[in-house]
Structure 1
Amino acid sequence: MAEKKKKKKKTRKREGERNLEEESQVEEEEKRGEEEQIEIDDEVIDEKADRIDDDRDTQALSLYFKEISKIPLLSPDDVVVLARKARKGDEEAKKALILSNLRLVVKIAKNYIGKGLSFIDLIEEGNIGLIKAIEKYDYRKGFRISTYASWWIRQAISRAIANKSRTIRLPVHIVDLINRYFRIRRELTVEDGSPPSIEKIARVMKIDKDKLERIIKASQFTRSIDMQIGDEEGTLSDIVKDESSELPSEVVFNVLRREYVDELLENLTSKEREVLRHRFGLTGDKPKTLRETGRIMNITRERVRQIEIRALKKLREIVLGAVKPMEWL
């Protein structure tokens, strides 16, 4: 019996040593893969730059790539040391962290070429995201700086593209109808002493009631989609723009009109509604993390994320579908 216990103990010890060795190999492979990937990306980026029409941009990019390629990558230990100094206000340490991750910005920015911004603009926006990431990075939480910074870089680039390329405009004749609707609504309210029904306004305007409702809803969507929500510099369109992105729990819907949000959520399943209510604090509570939401709903963190992505994708389709010109005809 005692000999069996000894054998089991030795087996467990060997397994533990093997696991540690495997983890070490994985880490080395991961590091080696990252370095190789950066080198490959530099070559791909040069090819992309060669296809840019503006020669001055191409020259500027080539010079930029050459300069940042000289900046050495930091080891995890170096990152911790510099991050600790940066948190204490050391500007040189902060600068070193930023410079060592400039190639990461280029790597991410190249995936957004052809989406409305020049490559140089994409890199500049990504660098802004990188700076913000370095300012917020907390090495004590155990996140790798590249993983943490990647989110901020993508968000900065995506938001810049959205601000440039996303503008939902209503046709002039629809704007005229909306203005006429509000004018008649005010006049009838004064005459009757209470807001008129949509049917009565439609009769006065000599327009189909269903069509008028669609026009009004489209107007509400175009006004609400660009309203800033929560304490972050975000809008509803930022949330429904990219269903694959990780969303910060601070972003909330509560500045939108309650009835408008409730109307949107009615298009979702009960589970999707519950996830969004918890994640974005729609019930008046503090927005919850994926993990907190999972505990409340008795599902995994990953399942919460999947449901959230699906729900936001639906909202995106509803919002964008509500302003399609074909629906006004």
Structure 2
Amino acid sequence: MGKVPLLTREEEVALAKQIEAGKAELRQAVYGLPLVFDRLQSLRVALQRREISVSAVVNLEHASENAEAADTQRDEALSLTLSGLLTIRRASKSLRTYYREQCAKPAGASRALKSVDSAQQRIVNRVRALHLTDEYQGQLLSEIKTLANDLRSGSRDAIGTIRDRVKHIERNVLCMPVSTFLEHVERIERAERIIEDGKTRLIQANLRLVASVAKHYMGRGLQFLDLVQEGNIGLMKAVDKFEYQRGYKFSTYATWWIRQRMTRAIADQASTIRVPVHMHESVQKLRRASARLVQRYGRPPTVWELAGHVELSEARTREMMECLKEPASLETPVGEYEDTKLGDLIEDRTVPPPYAAALRSDARRQVDKVLGVLTPKEEYIIKKRFGIGFVKGHTLEEISEDFGVTRERIRQIEASALRKLRQPQCLEVLKDLAEMN
């Protein structure tokens, strides 16, 4: 890292221009392929059906943060994009028809190729005006390279049916000879090498900037190397977004992307409970203020003192103080010999407390003792009638079915059993149980 010299302002601009020129050459080579025009029509259909968002394929400059304004901006971009794609469709359709007609004539392919150059360039200019995103352009590149690899492997064995297949591809898919298509692919690969070279040199010269910024974020929950890794991602993003025309030094611009990436990583990964990014700086400010007040007073500061120091309301300060608390693991050893875990001391609210279980057990024993004065049949009827030991109480009709007698007979047995339970010795026990409940 230290072996790579820092770049001057002029060298940064030169590398940025190299990347810009490479991207322009890449777009020219990609958008100059009639194959791409067909893919753009598939995109037009997907946009019309709302299967894909316009913001996913078109660069929306200065997107509004206001929801209503952002919706209006997307609607306008969608309308312009669909209009542009429709114009491209009509022009490419005419171009494809002309090429097929010329290819049907003897030695017509070469004449057709010369005739379509100017018309094709006009279509390319319209495609560039759409401002397609790098992500969508990457999808197009992937398809182009896949087809190129197939054709290159086929050209080595171009005999019989393979020749026929190549001619079919030339006429119906590429709208140009395979050799011309492969020349376009070589242009694409050269442009990618130019872009990659410029980006690599710009990144390598600024790696020490990432390390410098990372030092300011140490002690916030992430290791230094993790911060550097996140900062490198921000640096690569800065290279993609850098606009040298604005007159800023690249290091000044890149610092903001590096910081943003690091602060987001700290917010997402440093704490077990995630602290929102917009609160992270405020929480850090509160932590520093708390440390200063502890040194000044020799004790933890009150909420009122902290609120006055950081110029926030007490309610807001109390809310942020909750973010300062570190969660404790249930596996934390406690006790003199550390033979107990913190989780063992926490009440399980899903299980009844021991005293309640003891009371229930005693109540059950007392009820069984009282019901012991009844005959087995009377005891069964009383228990089932009032749901003692059953999920719910039952009707006289339901109980009568168990014994094969009438409902009236069950009522008589129930009345007889209740008279027995009204005896003084039974009533005293039942009253005690009622008072406990």
TM-score normalised to structure 2 length = 0.26
Q: Which structure ranks higher in relative contact order (CA pairs < 8 Å, sequence separation ≥ 6)? A: 2
TM-score normalised to structure 1 length = 0.34
